[in-house]
Structure 1
Amino acid sequence: MHNYSNTGWSALTVLLSLSFAYFAKALSGSYMKSTITQLERRFDIPSYLIGIIDGSFEIGNLLVIAFVSYFGAKLHRPKIIAIGCLLMSFGTFLIAMPHFIIGRYKIETSIRPSVNSTNNFSPCPASSLDSSRAGCERESSVSMWIYVLLGNILRGIGETPVQPLGISYIDDYAQSENAALYIGCVQTISIIGPVFGYLLGSLCAKIYVDIGYVDMETVTITPADARWVGAWWLGYLIAGAITLMSAVPFWFLPKSLPVPVENISALNIPLKQKFGSTHGEIHSFSKCPHAEFVPTLKSLLGNPVFTIYLCVTIIQFNSLIGMVTYKPKYIEQHYGQSASKANFLMGMINIPAVAFGMFSGGVVMKKYKLGIMGAAKFAFGTSLLGYFLSLLFFVLGCENSKVAGITVSYTGAGGLSYQEGSLFSDCNSGCLCSRREWDPVCGENGITYVSPCLAGCTFSTGSGRNTVFDSCRCVAVANTQPGNLTATLGQCPRRDSCDKVFPYFLALSVLSSFIISLGGTPGFMLLVRCIKPELKSLALGIHTLATRTLAGIPAPIYFGAIIDTTCLKWGYKMCGGRGCLCFSLTEMTFVEIKKKKNVAVLYFLLSLRFMIKPDKNLNFPFT
């Protein structure tokens, strides 16, 4: 009786330790997603490069996952997990390190701090502003984003043993009637982690990047400005500390726990044969009995249901990962929301909707006792319905911001085809303005100008955030009603119509995410039920390897590259080189809808496969 209670206490300790580790890794992973735009602006890198950084986590994971899966179970599993948590923590701290060696964040602005002067300077210079490059500091020979890339790879390496070794450890030594409950608790914690990760991202995005080092009165931009960079590094320090603490309990756990009597005869049964599957785990290929690897793999890939399902999930994961990675950026730049608000909405609305959808899908499958064919039809139906709902995004878009010389002419007429020369007009011809400068001001006519100089402003009053530019000739050109020819700092706010559309976009986004995720659990059960029991470990390993290699790594990269092609104007660094400023991201919506359409088609083919004879040959249009 004593051993029984001790076993329960030990299993509970393992459960709490593993849940904390799951929370820590999910927190740091989602926080990385929330800092996408902050890293772009801080390091002046385009979206495709951010995609490479984001996908580097999967690269690190794949580097060691086969080794850990095969040899990890033969070693001291808790200590291997502890080492993994330490590596995750070190990688997270490494990501934050550039902040402390790169120097202060410099905003390229024509605003000059002045306290006593009412006439600060003329925004219309007598000589070219490009001459200011002579005083540029030399940039480091090593780009700072390299440290972020290496840190994320290290995070991926450290995360590898947590899931397979942790789940198998708790399964081996928990009482059989509690094991499924424990695994469910761990998976639930892994869903809660991203919520806190995005909330942390929202909090840090409100804080200026160099808080504590600069006088905030001299900062002339707000969190809504395209040049604003939040305290991205602070969240990584917090996430790194939490991950470091999660390693502590595993150092004190024994290599093995007292085994409940009912588990002794089942110790050699693979976890996947007892509880179905757990996302992300890869078992040793040698566990497929009585078969060599190559013939077994050939038999597995010869299963048309498995092959189609693998194609379905690869496409679906491409869409999901692309959406999760860049949706906050889309909300920021298309709907004019701050990074803080975008992260808050992702953490409090979208992520819970997906989690609830996956849970509800499992409940529906259990309640109606869906078989293989029923699961295929249900997954197809939810995917198709999600696709039709996604079509509504076409009518929920906003027009581009009115920016003189980029989206509208200086007279206010739309339909402008942007070229470098279109930034200049008769109203600012007397000024030697730089076309590379991005220091937006909002005219009284509701049009944004790239800089006070390009707005034709002749002088300014006030200082800092209270600066007002007067006698702006370009404002007069498009001013259809009598009014002051002044301009204020920052871009003009979005139209009221865009603000009214945004809540509908959020509601539709939540609804479509919920409906599509409804089919996640039934769809995954197809993988478990459509293959022979002895092939499950190999099937799960191939599934995880394929989705990470063909979705986790490339999706952020090509989604980022597509987003880069939608930029109407790129900003430039003061010392030369292209920056990361862009306006329109509407093309991302079309890409996301196309992905969901392909998933719906493949789910249809999958459901059709169960309605025909096995000897039929189908030509599936994988395009």
Structure 2
Amino acid sequence: MADEASEATEFLKTPESKKEESEQLADIQCGLFKGPRMQSWATEYVFAVVFGIAGCFVAMAFTYFNGTITTLEKRYRIPSKTTSLIIVGTDISTIFTSGLLGYYASRGHRPRYIALGLVIMAVFCVMTASPHIIYGAGEDALKLTREYVQVDQLNATDDTLCQAQKTSCGQEAYLWAPIVLLFSAQFISGIGCALFYTLGISYMDDNSSKAKTPAMLSWSVFLRMLGPTFGLSLASVCLRFYIDPQLEPLITNEDTRWLGAWWLGWIPLTIIMLVSAFFLYIFPKELPSAQARRLKSGGHESGGNSLTELSLSDLLLAIKRLANNKVYVYNSIAAVLYVFGYMPYWMFTPKYIEIQYQQSASTATMATGSVALGFSAAGVLLSGYVISKYRPSARAMAAWNGIVDIFTVLGLLSYVLIGCDDSDKATSMFPSSGGDDSCTASCHCEYVHYAPICSPHNVTYISACHAGCSSRAKDELNQFIYTGCKCIGASDIANATQHQFARQGACPADCYNQFLIFLGVMCFLKFVGSSGRTSNLLLGLRCVSSVDKSLALGLSNMIVAILAFIPSPIVFASILDSYCLVWGKTCSNTGNCWLYDTKSLRYTMNFMAASCIFASSFWNIGVWYHAKDLKIFEEEETSHKEPEQFELNQKVSEIKKNSL
């Protein structure tokens, strides 16, 4: 009878209803081949894991770029300000695309748009590596290899010594094309990120019950947090190889002139982006469990109005609704101030460690990636567990965000105190130990490249020319000894001749203990700061209606990009450049910076960052006040009451049946 009834029901269906059913079935079909085994993978948990792993690779690409910044600056002779302009290319494109893509693309097949974003990220990886493919290792790097020049030729043509005539500026020309390529790559990556993050988070939230969202968000964020760890670790490994691995360098990777193979990591990153895009592409437009919940509640559309119903007036009304939402506005302002203050530590931490604590690029990126970001991942996991288990209120989450800000401010202020005297004293490398270059006036050192030497008094000079050295030889350890250095020991007239020599390389600076203390504080800040990510994201998702969710995410990304992601790198890069003491000079431009005033830089950078984050805490107080009626777990009551009522009805039915 049941079969006959189902056949009759099927017969009575109109062509329109059959078409609607087929469309609904197509919307929840997973994979390229629609087999039943493939459909079992179309769940919210599987998507959260796949999306999190893909997000890990996206974050890995960006942090890999950050880990190779100092090498790029040395290779292409670009100052930090130019580097910051390259990096903000991502955020410039985000401004133009994030809000619109979040509003319009959310009405289409979101997993396919997410996959398109990853394909764009793969193009970004190829474009970033292209300057090395086109221009090679560069003349400066080749000069420091055994294959490029023999030792006897090096002795005969040493241009770092004090010369009787002016040294030619015939160095490799300043290249604008690599800068344009790198900026273009960053620009298109912003489009890929807008598609990936904005649509991915809204798809996850729309296709899962609100009770499960915190756990899935925390796992997804946790997997993404592994990206920076892997990215900086990959950068550390690649930078251990010379920029041209086929050549034998004459210096070690501890030398500040070392250029690592910055381009090498973009090859595996391109491949994994394309593989990740495939796995996200095969997810359905709507997950079966989400469709079942929607149909049970009487809903018809999964993402708001259909694309054909959208208009500019709808968009303006949605923006007006968000502008009147105080929790959303205050949370966005707090995010802008926090990101503005913390941005230099996301971008320049490896460089900061190199400058302040005299560590190699490889060591700096490894410490930042493998140790510090591991604490970030732990903070995300722990916060996700606490939120899922104890279900704190919106006010409790907002209060914790304010506490995180205060801890961050205290940590940044402690950075000011964690200095290294040996590193601060390295400013003696400034020409002729104190700025008096009268003893090198006849040496014509203007275009002599950076090649530091160490005097018997443990004073480092920019080059043998800046120390007034006239000749060099090799010692028993096969290292160069520079002699006739008239600027060394000039103040000690009695023993001037005796001490007028120097050894190749900068004088050693013992900053390892300070580096470990800095690393410990940084790990604590990473742990505390990441513990507020899940709660902050939940506040942003729950303070708006479901129809405005994708737009809210896209619009907030656009606001943060305009007010923080773009200006912050430029401002802090300008601060870095303003404290540069020794610039690499080319014939037509100022190149990269070789030496900084570490003490002044440490004070200015950390005080300014701490001030921004302190201001952010006041706006989190506003979020706390207005979030008193905000529900984070809307399904909590119904999800608990419905099973209890069902069980009660079942027991009543059983009692009646037994009594009969």
Following superposition, the deviation at residue 165 of structure 1 comes to 4.1
User: Which secondary structure does the structure 2 equivalent of 1:563 belong to?
Assistant: helix
SS at match of 1:227: coil
Task: Name the residue aligned to 1:380.
Answer: 402
Residues 1:567 and 2:563 aligned together: no
Q: C-alpha separation between the residues in 1 aligned to 2:180 and 2:376?
A: 33
Structure 1 position 298, deviation (Å): 3.8
1:54 is displaced (CA, Å) by 1.2
Instruction: Go from structure 1 to structure 2 and tell me whether the alpha carbon gap of 1:22 and 1:477 turns closer, same or farther (over 3 Å shift).
Output: same
Aligned AA for 1:307? V
Q: Which range moves more in the overlay, 313-322 or 517-526?
A: 517-526
Tell me if 1:9 matches 2:48. no
Matching residue within 347, 352, 373 for 2:374:
352
Kept in 1, the 8 Å contact 2:221–2:380? The answer is: no
| Residues 191-270 of structure 1 aligned to structure 2 (within 5 Å) | 191-212=225-246, 214-216=247-249, 219=250, 221-250=251-280, 262-265=292-295
Distance 2:58 2:379 in 1: 22
Equivalent residue runs for 1:103-502 within 5 Å: 103-107=136-140, 114-115=150-151, 124-130=161-167, 132-133=168-169, 135=170, 142-166=176-200, 184-212=218-246, 214-216=247-249, 219=250, 221-250=251-280, 262-265=292-295, 293-294=315-316, 297-365=319-387, 369-399=391-421, 400-402=423-425, 410=433, 416=434, 422-426=435-439, 428=440, 431-434=443-446, 437-462=449-474, 466-477=479-490, 485-494=500-509, 496=510, 498-502=511-515
Q: Evaluate the alpha carbon distance shift between residue 477 and residue 316 of structure 1 in structure 2; reply closer, same or farther with a 3 A threshold.
A: same
Q: Is the 8 A contact 2:122 2:274 kept in 1?
A: yes
> What CA deviation, in whole Å up to 9, does each residue of 1:36-71 have, x standing for no partner?
112211111111221121121222334333443344
Classify the secondary structure of the residue corresponding to 1:477.
Answer: coil
Decide whether the 8 Å contact of 1:175 with 1:262 is kept in 2: no
TM-aligned CA deviation for residue 170 of structure 1: 6.1
Tell me by how many angstroms 1:22 deviates: 2.3
Residue 595 in structure 1 maps to residue 617 in structure 2: no
Structure 1 residues 185 and 384: CA distance shift in structure 2, 3 A: closer
TM-fit CA distance, 1:105: 2.0
- Asked if structure 2 preserves the Cα contact closer than 8 Å seen for 1:328 and 1:346, the reply is yes
Structure 2: distance between partners of 1:589 and 1:285: 51
C-alpha contact 2:453 2:503 (8 A) present in aligned 1: yes
Q: Helix, strand or coil for the counterpart of 1:160?
A: helix
In the TM superposition, residue 161 of structure 1 has moved relative to its aligned partner by: 2.5
C-alpha deviations, 1:355-409, integer Å up to 9, x for none? 3334434445556654343333332223223322332222212244545765596
The answer (yes or no) to whether the contact 1:361–1:519 under 8 Å persists in 2 is yes
**Alpha-carbon separation, structure 2, partners of 1:261 and 1:354:** 35
Q: Identify the residue that residue 523 of structure 2 maps to in structure 1.
A: 510
Q: Which runs of 5+ in 2 are unaligned?
A: 1-33, 629-660
In 1: Cα distance, 2:387 partner to 2:107 partner: 36
* Partners of 2:380 and 2:49 in 1: CA distance: 23
Pick closer, same or farther for the CA change 1:215–1:269 going to 2, 3 Å.
farther
Q: Could you say which residue in structure 2 is the equivalent of 1:276?
A: none
* 1:16-40 Cα distance to aligned partner (Å, 9 max, x none): 6544432322221221221211221
1:49 maps onto 2:66 in alignment: no
Asked if structure 2 preserves the Cα contact closer than 8 Å seen for 1:128 and 1:433, the reply is no
How many angstroms apart in 2 are the aligned matches of 1:43 and 1:117?
26
Q: Which residue of 2 aligns with 1:615?
A: none
* Structure 2 residue aligned with 1:547: 560
Q: Distance in 2 between matches of 1:136 and 1:233?
A: 23
Residue 244 of structure 1 and its aligned partner are, at CA, apart by: 2.3
Residues 404 and 447 of structure 1 are in contact (CA less than 8 Å); yes or no, is this contact kept in structure 2?
no
- Quick one: distance in 1 between partners of 2:95 and 2:293? 32
Deviation of residue 578 (structure 1)? 0.6
Q: Which residue of 2 aligns with 1:557?
A: 570
Give the CA RMSD over aligned residues.
Answer: 4.0
1:98 aligns with 2:131: yes
Determine the C-alpha separation between the residues in 2 that align with 1:320 and 1:601: 16
- SS at 2:177 equivalent: coil
| In 1, Cα distance between equivalents of 2:506 and 2:569 | 29
| Distance in 2 of aligned mates of 1:244 and 1:567 | 41
Measured in 2, the distance between the counterparts of 1:115 and 1:3 equals 68
Could you tell me whether the CA contact under 8 Å between 1:404 and 1:423 is conserved in 2? Answer: no
Query: After superposition, what is the alpha-carbon deviation per residue over 1:92-121, rounded to whole angstroms, capped at 9, x for unaligned?
Result: 111111112224322298999554699757
Name the residue aligned to 1:577: 589
Return 241-250 or 472-481, whichever deviates more: 472-481
Q: What secondary structure does 2:503 align onto? A: strand
Aligned to 2:657: none
CA contact (8 A) 1:448 1:491 kept: yes
What's the counterpart of residue 619 of structure 1? none
Q: TM-score, normalised by structure 2?
A: 0.76
- 1:569 match: secondary structure: strand
For these two proteins, the number of residue pairs brought into alignment is: 579
Contact 1:315 1:599 in 2 (8 A): yes
CA distance in 1, matches of 2:340, 2:403: 20
Looking at structure 2, the residues matched to 209 and 176 of structure 1 have their Cα atoms a distance apart, in angstroms, of 50
Q: Deviations over 1:327-379 (max 9, x none)?
A: 11111111111111111111112222233334434445556654343333332
Any idea what the Cα deviations from partners look like across 1:573-620, whole Å, max 9, x if unmatched?
A: 2x3311111423423222222222222343345546679xxxxxxxxx
- Structure 1's 46 and 429: CA in aligned 2 closer, same or farther, altered over 3 A? closer
Stretch moving more, 176-185 or 56-65:
176-185
Distance 1:604 1:128, change over 3 A: farther
**Distance in 1 between the 2:331 and 2:200 partners?**
27
- Residues 363 and 272 from structure 1, CA distance in 2 versus in 1: closer, same or farther, beyond 3 angstroms? farther
Q: Distance in 2 between matches of 1:334 and 1:303?
A: 44
Moved more, 113-122 or 539-548: 113-122
